[in-house]
Amino acid sequence: MAVSIEIGDWLQAPAHALKPAFAIGDVHGRDDLFGPLLETLEGVAFEDGLQDAVIIALGDYIDRGPASISALNRALDGTSLVRLVPLPGNHEQFLRGFLESEGHRRDNIREIWFDNGGDDVARELDFDPKQTRRSNRSSRLVRSHMGLPGN
């Protein structure tokens, strides 16, 4: 699938910003779009001489799309030319709550999380979506700075 990204003219900000900032939200497992978007923003920052630019990623890297863990890792790895600040969204909070809870609380969180697309990422992490425990298949490592395992 070809990715098409259009770049328009800069718009005046409603208030003075200390540095140029880009904001990205709701990636939802679409690492195939997230990567090219980050590369494009790095190119814009370089071409426009925005040496102190920052990209703020507003969370929701996971759930609903086919590559949630890749998208989360890309957000955590950052970019080479522009500082990337990844913030957790409600979907990452669902995942964290699920991983840190047990019993009835875990069942409740699972229901809410899966109603919001979490069943696909649960499969990526080798959790049986119908159960609350990890399957016997090989495990995947999730690393994060926001309190998930591997921290």
Domain ranges of the chain: 21-124
d(CA 72, CA 82): 17
pLDDT, tens only, 2-35: 788 888 887 887 888 788 899 999 999 999 999 9
Rounded to 5 degrees, what are φ and ψ at 132? -105, 5
Q: Which tens digits make up the pLDDT trace of 64-73?
A: 999 999 999 9
SS3 53: coil
Task: Name which of 74, 68, 81, 85 is nearest 40 in CA terms.
Answer: 81
Pairwise CA distance, residues 105 & 97, whole Å: 9
CATH code assigned to 21-124? 3.60.21.10
Instruction: Please give the structure tokens belonging to residue 135.
Output: 């399957």
